[in-house]
Amino acid sequence: MGKPTGFMEYKRRETEWVQPAERIKNFDEFHMNLNLVDRQQQAARCMACGVPFCQAGVMISGMASGCPLHNLVPETNELLYHGNLEQAYRRLSKTHSFPEFTGRVCPALCEAACTCGHIMEPVTTKDNEKDIIEYAFEHGLVEEGEPKVRTGKKVAVIGSGPSGLACAQLLNRRGHKVTVYERSDRPGGLLRYGIPNMKLDKRIVDRRIELMKRSGIEFLCSVNVGVDIKAEELYEKYDRVVLCCGASKPRDITAPGREAEGIMFAVPFLKEVSKKLMDNDYDHKKIMSAKDFSFGSMKGKNVIVIGGGDTGNDCVGTSIRLGAKSVTQIEMMPAAPSERLASNPWPEWPKVLKTDYGQEEAIFCFGKDPRIFSTTVTDFIMDDKGALKAVKTVGLERKTGKDGKAIFDHVEGSEAELPTDIVLIAAGFLGSEEYVTEAFGVKVNARGNVETAAEEFQTSNENVFVAGDMHRGQSLVVWAIAEGRKAAAAVDESLVGYTNL
């Protein structure tokens, strides 16, 4: 290990954020960097424990513990501590396709399972990996050359989110000719249009895409597979097809008045803002004053976000940057405890209350946490012109049904009416979109995800494979990358009889 006493000598030091008063003025990334000496000290805190739970990536009590990519965390931290960042990058890239993405948006499953975190604060593994990959890019170490030998096999990857990109990267390295189809105008999928620029600058996505293009991967954008091109055409052109289209069917709120003007799903809202930002060459002043959004200007508007997850938080932060008068976030689940319960021991994922950047900004702007827990919307109220003007809410009491599943009863007397001009629905997703699964004739399960045998990626259509959220349901970027890599190995083996991926 790098320094046996490092975890005792150095305290955890997280990468600092630009303060809310400044960062809400633009859509720039707001995470600052540590200098190399301080970063090495953070790496020195790694205990090189005999059983590194940080890289296990296993399910415990229904939640992931450790990194699904099985990054060699203690080895990487040791190399970083000794200042050997080139070898640290080489080591990290053995298991990870895109550390620059997870280093910005991952909730750090590795840190939640860190042995050091069992007795004190965990190692800053996520920030360490981000600094390693950025050093590698800065010093020209990240290369994606075209394979010297091609196999003659062709693969179509449908969708250019994290699973599609990871799958395409490995299949191309293996020598197969890969074409990626993307229905949006730019590649990146969720990375580009589902995550705001202040969390993941789209130029970081472009940087990786350009490397992949130079390596021989073809990207065809503005092509909606299943609509613009039929599955049968792809069967004729390619030896295999990999579906990486995400779990993009949003869960709706079917309350009276749902047809009111001013109600949007979260991802189309975030996509529209991100596209406007890119179309205006990242000039945030043009974005913040724009009046030609489909929802009009958000300045002076009361906004309600339905949903308490990462996407809901992103809607809060984005609405604030667009000048919202107020932002309220409604969450049907009760607030998590501030500290771990005895029933939630390490190395399980800690089920504790987290105040993310959007909520932090709302507290700064409006003087209170925007979240209202254990609450749901029962009615959307519109004016005489059909525009949204308020929502009715009611408190919820969580109980356990006879089948052991959670049920929610309305709390009598808790009804309230909240004025609002815009509602953003971020209530999760219900699986893949039917027009894609029907086009390829693949079976889906009860949750709307494409069905495969356990731990496998081949669908009911033997030449069609699946990866990412379309396979496992709505999940994390790191899981999508892991799935894309595993699916690439499965496709490779089906094409040539074995795989070394």
* 479, burial (CB in 10 Å: exposed 0-12, middle 13-18, buried 19+): buried
What pLDDT sits at residue 311?
A: 96
In a shared domain, residues 232 and 303 = no
In a shared domain, residues 42 and 184 = no
pLDDT above 90: residue 26: yes
Average of per-residue pLDDT across 431-435: 94
Task: Report pLDDT digits (tens) over 316-343.
Answer: 999 999 999 999 999 999 999 999 999 9
Q: What percent of the chain has pLDDT over 90?
A: 93
What pLDDT sits at residue 72?
A: 95
pLDDT above 90: residue 199: yes
pLDDT above 90: residue 90: yes
What pLDDT sits at residue 287?
A: 83
In a shared domain, residues 417 and 461 = no
- For residue 349, being part of any structural domain is answered with yes
In a shared domain, residues 388 and 442 = no
* CATH code for the domain of 130: 1.10.1060.10
In a shared domain, residues 164 and 109 = no
pLDDT above 80: residue 1: no
Please give the residue range of the domain that contains residue 315.
263-425
pLDDT above 80: residue 3: yes
Cis peptide before 4 (omega within 30 of 0): no
Last residue of a domain, one of 105, 138, 171: 138
Number of domains in the chain: 3
Alpha carbons within 13 angstroms on the beta-carbon side of residue 291 total 1
Last residue of a domain, one of 402, 425, 448: 425
In a shared domain, residues 366 and 296 = yes
What pLDDT sits at residue 209?
A: 98
In a shared domain, residues 122 and 41 = yes
Q: What is the chain's mean pLDDT, rounded?
A: 96
Percent helix / strand / coil, the chain, rounded to 5: 35, 20, 45
pLDDT-derived band at 62 (thresholds 50, 70, 90) equals confident
pLDDT above 80: residue 16: yes
What pLDDT sits at residue 402?
A: 82
pLDDT above 80: residue 116: yes
Task: Report pLDDT digits (tens) over 406-417.
Answer: 899 999 999 999
In a shared domain, residues 449 and 391 = no
What pLDDT sits at residue 291?
A: 74
Identify the three-state secondary structure at position 160: coil
Average of per-residue pLDDT across 483-492: 98
In a shared domain, residues 373 and 400 = yes
Average of per-residue pLDDT across 39-49: 95
- For residue 143, being part of any structural domain is answered with no
pTM of the predicted structure, to 2 decimals? 0.96
In a shared domain, residues 21 and 117 = yes
In a shared domain, residues 376 and 293 = yes
Pairwise CA distance, residues 319 & 301, whole Å? 9
What pLDDT sits at residue 300?
A: 93
DSSP string computed for 445-466: -TTSPBP-STT--B-SSTTEEE
Task: Report pLDDT digits (tens) over 231-268.
Answer: 999 999 999 999 999 999 999 999 999 999 999 999 99
